[in-house]
Chains A and B, each alone.
Chain A
Amino acid sequence: MNGIFKKLPEQAARIIMLFITLAVLLFIVRQFILPRSLTDTVLQKALATEREAAKDIKYAGAQICAGCHEKEHNIKADGYHRDLACESCHGAAQKHTEDPTTFKPNSPRKRDYCGYCHTYNSSRPSGFPQINPNTHNPQRPCITCHSPHNPTPPKVPSSCAACHAQIERTKIASYHALVACTVCHKTPEKHKTSPRTVRPSKPDNREFCGKCHAKDAKTAGTPKVDMATHGEKYVCWQCHYPHMLGGI
C-alpha cells in the first residue's frame, strides 16, 4: 500500500486520501447520524402512519351516547331522526365522554340550526321535509312545535297537492279535473309519511281505463274507443297523459 502511494506524486496521493475520507464521512453520516427514517422509506412510512394514527379523536361516535342518555336514545330511535347521530346536532363530544361535568356539548335551540337541513332548496331531494323560513311561523324557534328528538310534523299532508302541486295544477285544467287522484292511484296511508319507500300504484292494464272509455262502458259523456282495435299493444297512458289538458 505504502509502496503504491510512494510511486504516486504527492499531490495525487493527497487527493486520493481526501476522497477516501469524504466517502467514509458520507457513509458515517448516512449510517449513523441521519435518523433512519430519512434513509429508510419503509420506516418513514411506518412512523408517519403511526403519527397519524395517534392523533386525538374529537367525535365520540354514535354508540357511546346511549350509555348514559338512554331516555333520549330511545325516544330518538323511534322517530324520524333515528338515523341522525347525536353529534350531528350536539357537536363533537369526545371531551364530554371523558369529563362529563366540565365539557358540555352544544344544544342548538335557535331557529337557524334546523334550517341547515330543512330550509327549502331546489337541489334537495323531493320528499325531504323542507320549509320556507320566511312563511313558516317566522321568528319562532322550531323547538316550540317540534321536539328535535322526535320531530313528528304536527300533521301529515292531507291532500296530494301538498307535495304534487304541479300535477294538481295541470290536472285541474284537464278533463280529469273531477277525478280524484286516488281513483287511479291506490295510495297506502304510509305514503304520506314515507313518500319514497311506500309509493302509490299506477294503472297497469288497459281494462282500468276501459271502465270509462271502452265502447260498452256505462259512463256518459266520455270519449269511447273499441278496446279490441285501438292500440292493443300498449297501456293507455303510454300515449295519453291523463293529467294533461285535453287528455292527449
Chain B
Amino acid sequence: MDRRDFLKNIGLVITCGGVVGGLSAEAGALIINKEYDTAKHYYGMGIDIDKCIGCGRCMQACKTENDVPSVPFFFRTWVERYVIKTDKSVNVNNINMNVGEQTEAFVEKDALRSFFVPKLCNQCDHPPCVQVCPVGATFKTADGVVLMDTKRCIGCRYCIQACPYGARYLHPHRKVADKCNFCYHRLVKGLLPACVEVCPKQARIFGDMKSIASPLGRFMRMNKIHVLKPGLNTDPKVYYANLDGEVN
C-alpha cells in the first residue's frame, strides 16, 4: 500500500465512524415532553415574610426531592432568622431544620423585631452565574428558569463565586455546581416545587407570570413587592412581600 492509499483509507474510516457515532448519539434527541411548551410559561415565586414560621419543612422537602446531601452545609433553599436588636445591630442565622427538637425557647430580651427569610435561587433574568460560566454549563430556559447542565459542568466554582445571593454550592458527590431550579422536573409535570408543596403556611406562592389568574399574579397585585439586592440589576424572579429593609 502506498502512502496515498493509506491516507485515503484512514480518511474513509474516520468519516464513516464519525457519521455512525454522531447519528447514534443524537438519535431521539430534541423530543421534549409533548404536552409541555416552554414558551407558554414564565415562572416566578412569591414569598410572604409575615407568614413564614421558620419550621424548615421547605428545606427538608427540597433535600429529599433533589438529592441534596443531608448534612447542614448544602442547601438549594434555606431559611434565615433575622433578629434586630434594640441597639440596631442585626443577627442573622441559618435556621436548623431540626429546630423543633431544641427545647430552649428562642427569646431574645433585647430584640426590636425578628422574622424569618426563606431564600433560594432568584432565577435572575440577568443571571451573573450564566455570564461567568466558562463552558456554558448553566443557561436560562424560555420558561424563566436558570438550569444547570450537569454533564457539561467542570466544577470550577466560578458561578458559586459570582452568585450575589449565595444560592449555589458544589455538590460533594457529583462534583458539579448545584442550585435550585424551581424543581424543574416537577414543573413540566404540572406539579408545584417541593418547598411550595409542603409549606404549611403558604408563605411561598408559586405561579406562572404569563397567566393573569395564577396565585402569583394575585400575590403581586395584593402586596408591595421587593426583591433582594435590586441595585445589582440581576432582575430576580423571587418576589418578597413584607420584607424588612435590613434583609440583603
Alpha-carbon separation in the docked complex, A229 to B177 (Å): 72
Across the two chains, which residue of chain B brings its CB closest to A133? B103
Across the two chains, which residue of chain B brings its CB closest to A112? B101
In A41-86, the 8 Å CB interface with B consists of 41, 43-59, 61-62, 81, 83-85
Chain B residues contacting A24 (CB-CB under 8 Å) are: 11
Across the two chains, which residue of chain A brings its CB closest to B58? A88
Question: B5 within 8 Å of A by Cβ?
Answer: no
Which one of A36, A88, A112 contacts B57 once the chains associate, using CB atoms below 8 Å?
A: A88
Q: Take A54-B185, A61-B192, A124-B53 as given contacts and tell me if A113 and B100 are in contact as well, using a CB distance cutoff of 8 Å.
A: yes
Which one of A53, A85, A87, A115 contacts B100 once the chains associate, using CB atoms below 8 Å?
A: A115
Nearest CB in chain B: distance from A27 CB, A: 10
Most chain B Cβ neighbours within 10 Å, of A61, A62, A113: A61
Q: Take A56-B185, A57-B185, A120-B105 as given contacts and tell me if A48 and B151 are in contact as well, using a CB distance cutoff of 8 Å.
A: yes
Question: A92 within 8 Å of B by Cβ?
Answer: yes
Chain B residues contacting A48 (CB-CB under 8 Å) are: 139, 147-152
Chain A residues contacting B149 (CB-CB under 8 Å) are: 44-45, 47-48, 51
Q: Is there contact, CB below 8 Å, between B29 and A59?
A: no
Chain B residues contacting A25 (CB-CB under 8 Å) are: 14
Question: A31 within 8 Å of B by Cβ?
Answer: yes
Per-residue CB contact flags for chain A residues 24-35 toward chain B (1 = under 8 Å, else 0) read: 110011011101
Q: Is there contact, CB below 8 Å, between B21 and A32?
A: yes
With A45-B141, A48-B151 given, can you name 20 additional A-B contacts, CB distance below 8 Å? A24-B11, A29-B18, A32-B14, A35-B22, A46-B30, A47-B30, A52-B181, A59-B194, A61-B192, A87-B61, A92-B194, A112-B101, A113-B100, A115-B100, A115-B101, A121-B54, A121-B106, A122-B111, A123-B115, A125-B115
Alpha-carbon separation in the docked complex, A28 to B17 (Å): 10
Alpha-carbon separation in the docked complex, A81 to B149 (Å): 39
Interface residues of A (CB under 8 A from B): 21, 24-25, 28-29, 31-33, 35-37, 41, 43-59, 61-62, 81, 83-85, 87-88, 91-92, 112-117, 119-125, 128, 132-134
In B99-154, the 8 Å CB interface with A consists of 99-103, 105-108, 111, 114-116, 136, 139, 141, 147-152
In B174-192, the 8 Å CB interface with A consists of 181, 184-186, 188-189, 191-192
Per-residue CB contact flags for chain B residues 47-62 toward chain A (1 = under 8 Å, else 0) read: 0001111111100010
Q: Is there contact, CB below 8 Å, between B65 and A92?
A: yes
Across the two chains, which residue of chain A brings its CB closest to B61? A59
Alpha-carbon separation in the docked complex, A46 to B30 (Å): 6
Alpha-carbon separation in the docked complex, A115 to B101 (Å): 7
Across the two chains, which residue of chain B brings its CB closest to A113? B100
Q: Take A84-B200, A119-B105 as given contacts and tell me if A114 and B29 are in contact as well, using a CB distance cutoff of 8 Å.
A: no
Range, interface on chain B: 35 or more
In B67-116, the 8 Å CB interface with A consists of 81-83, 98-103, 105-108, 111, 114-116
Q: Report the number of A-B residue pairs with Cβ-Cβ less than 8 Å.
A: 178
Alpha-carbon separation in the docked complex, A227 to B189 (Å): 67
Q: Take A46-B32, A120-B107 as given contacts and tell me if A33 and B151 are in contact as well, using a CB distance cutoff of 8 Å.
A: no
Alpha-carbon separation in the docked complex, A61 to B207 (Å): 15
Question: B2 within 8 Å of A by Cβ?
Answer: no
Alpha-carbon separation in the docked complex, A45 to B152 (Å): 10
Q: Take A43-B29, A116-B57, A133-B103 as given contacts and tell me if A58 and B194 are in contact as well, using a CB distance cutoff of 8 Å.
A: yes
Question: B229 within 8 Å of A by Cβ?
Answer: no
Across the two chains, which residue of chain A brings its CB closest to B24? A35
Which one of B51, B99, B184, B200 contacts A88 once the chains associate, using CB atoms below 8 Å?
A: B200
Q: Is there contact, CB below 8 Å, between B61 and A122?
A: no
24 examples of A-B residue contacts, CB within 8 angstroms: A28-B14, A28-B15, A45-B141, A47-B30, A49-B147, A53-B36, A53-B185, A55-B184, A57-B65, A81-B200, A88-B57, A92-B64, A113-B100, A116-B56, A116-B98, A120-B106, A120-B107, A121-B99, A123-B81, A123-B83, A124-B54, A124-B116, A125-B52, A134-B105
